[in-house]
């Protein structure tokens, strides 16, 4: 096979950029043997030239991104700067000059992906973004290629390693949120300002990218209901464990047919009609892809301890995808870090170099610039099971008042858990429900919290059920 050279400009030489340099340097021969292409890093652009770096001798390191992008010997621009200001400028400049861009920047894609994809098409080039979600896990390629024969019914992921590390420490060691966050910071898994991670926004930005591909509809961060882990109580993790669940921060996107969205479940409806009951088409028949509403949410969620996602620990990521033909597929691996993320970047560089990505980018009508805005299920319409923790005064009749409120709102109970406490203490009462509407739950919570016997706001978490094909029996 005739060999050729492809010139790379690497914008950013930090955690991910240095991993890309390492792989392209150390695996130069392997990549050349496999692809017939010599990938040559011609520029690394950074902000501060004085910083010590572990780069091979002879690498051209500068602060001039524009010169690197405009260099005629550069064929592919890799953006690993991060953020949405300078990175956007560099990506636009590269695309306008017809050069393909490889990026790991989910914030940029969630904010401006549609516009940048169409800019790329206008200039007959492409954007590759495997590293933007799930770090080294090849989830983008799987959604774009491996699963293309499937109508995707649901995508459920643990896509933020920082939150998963914190929740794992809280679950396994019984730590408070504050202690677990400090351990994550000490271990280098959490930033000094962890807000993007713990608020759920980073997870939502990744979900916007993944759901757009899975459902062939334009999803933005604003479409997603977001709750983070920063208000989660250690008590709820302990009670969830007692009930057979672990709490995970999940990114959830699931198709709700018109029937499913408006169907039963108002009080004691069968839990088989749960979030994952994707086996058979609804009685309305399967609708067109764009005719279905999509439920999009990020929140701490009770996952049954036998669910595969319950075993995803520490900084690992996992994404469950439910395709109508394949059924359940699980993508598991390291969702961040220098080499795992660089693994995804280099796979993009290779696929751009081979011509696979430019062709697919041009031909496939699945990217958000070629699809319509998603029809988003209003969050109040969500049908889910719930976990509630009330803090009540130990007085006769409290439970009767609470169950009456829930009953009046057509919410039926699945379990109640209450421990003996000393006379002077408040009694935590844990309730799990059958399927209920979010709107009905929120109305009930307002009424419950207004009761004189309820002494603190009631904790409310959602429970996700196992997919039917994995349910016991």
Dihedral, CA of residue 47, residue 53, residue 57 and residue 60, to nearest 10: -10
Select 154 or 209, whichever has its Cβ closest to ligand NAP. Answer: 209
Among 135, 265, 300, 467, binds ligand NAP (CB under 6 A): 135
In the complex, the smallest distance separating the C-beta of residue 42 from ligand NAP, rounded to whole angstroms, is 16
Per rule CB under 6 A, is residue 104 in the interface with ligand NAP?
A: yes
Q: Are 135 and 206 in contact (CB under 8 A)?
A: no
> x/- contact string, 41-80, with ligand NAP (CB under 6 A)?
----xxxx--x-------------x--------------x
Select 93 or 410, whichever has its Cβ closest to ligand NAP. Answer: 93
- Window 272 to 331, contacts with ligand NAP (CB under 6 A): none
Given the residues 106, 169, 206, 256, the one annotated as active site: 206
Select 13 or 200, whichever has its Cβ closest to ligand NAP. Answer: 13
In the complex, the smallest distance separating the C-beta of residue 161 from ligand NAP, rounded to whole angstroms, is 8
Backbone φ and ψ of 320, nearest 5°? -95, 130
Per rule CB under 6 A, is residue 158 in the interface with ligand NAP?
A: no
Q: Are 369 and 117 in contact (CB under 8 A)?
A: yes
In the complex, the smallest distance separating the C-beta of residue 62 from ligand NAP, rounded to whole angstroms, is 9
Please state, as a whole number, how many other Cβ atoms lie within 10 Å of the Cβ of residue 447.
16
In the complex, the smallest distance separating the C-beta of residue 20 from ligand NAP, rounded to whole angstroms, is 9
DSSP string for residues in 170-213? HHHH---HHHHHHHHHHTTSS-SS-HHHHTSHHHHHHHHHHHHH
Among 323, 337, 358, 467, binds ligand NAP (CB under 6 A): 337
- Site stretch for ligand NAP (CB under 6 A), options 14-22, 29-37, 147-155, 449-457: 14-22
CA distance 439 to 375: 19
- Site stretch for ligand NAP (CB under 6 A), options 10-18, 148-156, 312-320, 359-367: 10-18
Q: Are 43 and 71 in contact (CB under 8 A)?
A: yes
In the complex, the smallest distance separating the C-beta of residue 341 from ligand NAP, rounded to whole angstroms, is 4
Size of the site for ligand NAP (CB under 6 A): 24
User: What is the DSSP-derived secondary structure letter of residue 163?
Assistant: H
Per rule CB under 6 A, is residue 14 in the interface with ligand NAP?
A: yes
DSSP string for residues in 385-423? EEEEEEEE-S-TTHHHHHHHHHHHTT--EEEEEE----T
User: Does 206 participate in catalysis according to the annotation?
Assistant: yes
Q: Are 18 and 41 in contact (CB under 8 A)?
A: no
CA distance 189 to 192: 10
Select 41 or 217, whichever has its Cβ closest to ligand NAP. Answer: 41
Q: What is the number of the residue whose Cβ is closest to ligand NAP?
A: 14
- Site stretch for ligand NAP (CB under 6 A), options 6-14, 206-214, 259-267, 427-435: 6-14
Select 294 or 336, whichever has its Cβ closest to ligand NAP. Answer: 336
In the complex, the smallest distance separating the C-beta of residue 210 from ligand NAP, rounded to whole angstroms, is 14
Could you tell me which of 346, 470, 360 has the C-alpha nearest to residue 10?
346
Per rule CB under 6 A, is residue 21 in the interface with ligand NAP?
A: no
CA distance 239 to 430: 8
Q: Are 236 and 167 in contact (CB under 8 A)?
A: no
DSSP string for residues in 69-110? HH-TT--EEEE-S-SSSHHHHHHHHHHHTT--EEE--HHHHH
In the complex, the smallest distance separating the C-beta of residue 113 from ligand NAP, rounded to whole angstroms, is 13
Per rule CB under 6 A, is residue 82 in the interface with ligand NAP?
A: yes
Q: Are 341 and 193 in contact (CB under 8 A)?
A: no
Select 45 or 352, whichever has its Cβ closest to ligand NAP. Answer: 45
- The residues that are catalytic are 206
Give the residues lining the site for ligand NAP (CB under 6 A): 11-17, 45-48, 51, 65, 80-82, 86, 104-105, 131, 135, 336-337, 341
């Amino acid at each position: 096979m005739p060999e050729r050279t492809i010139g790379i400009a690497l914008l950013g030489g930090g955690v991910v950029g240095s991993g890309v340099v390492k792989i392209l340097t150390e695996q130069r021969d392997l990549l050349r043997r496999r692809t017939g292409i010599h990938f040559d890093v011609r520029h690394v652009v950074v902000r501060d030239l004085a910083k010590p770096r572990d780069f091979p001798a002879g690498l051209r390191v500068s602060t001039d991104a524009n010169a690197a992008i405009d260099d005629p010997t550069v064929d592919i621009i890799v953006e690993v700067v991060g953020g949405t200001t300078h990175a956007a400028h560099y990506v636009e400049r590269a695309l306008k000059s017809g050069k393909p861009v490889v990026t790991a920047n989910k914030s940029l894609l969630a904010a401006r992906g549609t516009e940048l994809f169409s800019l790329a098409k206008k200039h007959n080039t492409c954007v590759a973004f495997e590293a933007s979600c799930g770090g080294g896990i090849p989830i983008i390629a799987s959604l774009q290629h491996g699963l293309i024969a499937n109508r995707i019914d649901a995508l459920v992921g643990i896509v933020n390693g920082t939150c998963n590390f914190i929740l794992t420490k809280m679950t396994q060691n019984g730590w408070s949120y504050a202690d677990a966050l400090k351990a994550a910071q000490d271990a280098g898994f959490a930033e000094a300002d962890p807000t993007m991670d713990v608020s759920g926004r980073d997870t939502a930005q990744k979900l916007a990218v993944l759901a757009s591909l899975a459902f062939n509809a334009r999803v933005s961060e604003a479409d997603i209901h977001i709750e983070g882990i920063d208000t989660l109580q250690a008590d709820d993790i302990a009670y969830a464990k007692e009930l057979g669940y672990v709490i995970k921060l999940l990114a959830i996107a699931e198709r709700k047919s018109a029937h499913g969205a408006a169907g039963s479940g108002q009080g004691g409806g069968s839990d088989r009609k749960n979030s994952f009951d994707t086996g058979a088409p609804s009685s309305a028949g399967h609708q067109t892809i764009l005719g279905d509403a999509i439920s999009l949410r990020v929140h701490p969620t009770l996952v049954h301890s036998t669910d595969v996602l319950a075993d995803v620990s520490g900084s690992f990521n996992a994404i469950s995808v439910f395709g109508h033909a394949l059924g359940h597929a699980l993508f598991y691996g390291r969702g961040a870090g220098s080499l795992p993320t660089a693994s995804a970047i280099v796979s993009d560089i290779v696929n751009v170099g081979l011509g696979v990505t430019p062709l697919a980018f041009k031909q496939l009508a699945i990217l958000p610039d070629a699809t319509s805005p998603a029809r988003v299920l209003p969050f109040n319409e969500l049908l889910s099971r719930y976990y509630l923790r009330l803090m009540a005064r130990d007085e006769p009749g409290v439970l009767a008042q609470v169950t009456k409120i829930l009953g009046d709102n057509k919410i039926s109970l699945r379990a109640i858990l209450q421990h003996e406490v000393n006379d002077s203490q408040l009694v935590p009462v844990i309730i799990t429900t059958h399927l209920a509407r979010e709107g009905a739950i929120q109305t009930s919570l307002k009424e419950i919290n207004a009761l004189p016997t309820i002494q603190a706001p009631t904790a409310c978490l959602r429970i996700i059920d196992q997919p039917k094909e994995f349910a016991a029996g």
